[in-house]
Amino acid sequence: MAERTPLETYRAWNDCLLAGDLAGATRLIDAAHWREKCLGLTDWLTDFGTALGHYEKNMVKPWQDLEMHEEEVVEGREAVTIRFRVEATHVGRFLDWPATGRRISFQAIRIVHVRDQLVTGQWAQLDLWGIEQQLTAR
């Protein structure tokens, strides 16, 4: 079996997350070296289980029919940077905003670190201002 590139590793991991396959996502990470920061949502985390809890709270429960569309990808030897657009329907509390039922679109960026075909962490940032503008528009 050929080795996966960092981009292929990221995509396999992200596909598991989007499908709700947390066991599959867990098989694709290096828990001993995990480090994650979601700017504006979490501080630095070193426990993948805690990170998954934040992911569920911020990216699963508040949204329905979530789609991620890669718009720009830069792949390095041990990291992948992905700028993507998210489309989703707001069906649950996200930060201070109760469900609106609105379909929104926002930009996000991830820098995902990969070593030995395993994801070792990420730095992520969602366009929180853009999300707020869409959720609070009258």
Q: What is the pLDDT of residues 57-86, one digit of tens each?
A: 999 999 999 999 999 999 999 999 999 999
pLDDT at 1: 61
Tell me the pTM. 0.91
- The per-residue pLDDT for range 38-63, each reduced to its tens digit, is 988 888 888 898 988 888 999 999 99
Instruction: Confirm if 107 and 125 have CB atoms less than 8 A apart.
Output: no
Q: Which residues contact 132 (CB under 8 A, 6 or more apart)?
A: 97
What distance in Å separates the CA atoms of residue 91 and residue 98, rounded to the nearest whole number? 8
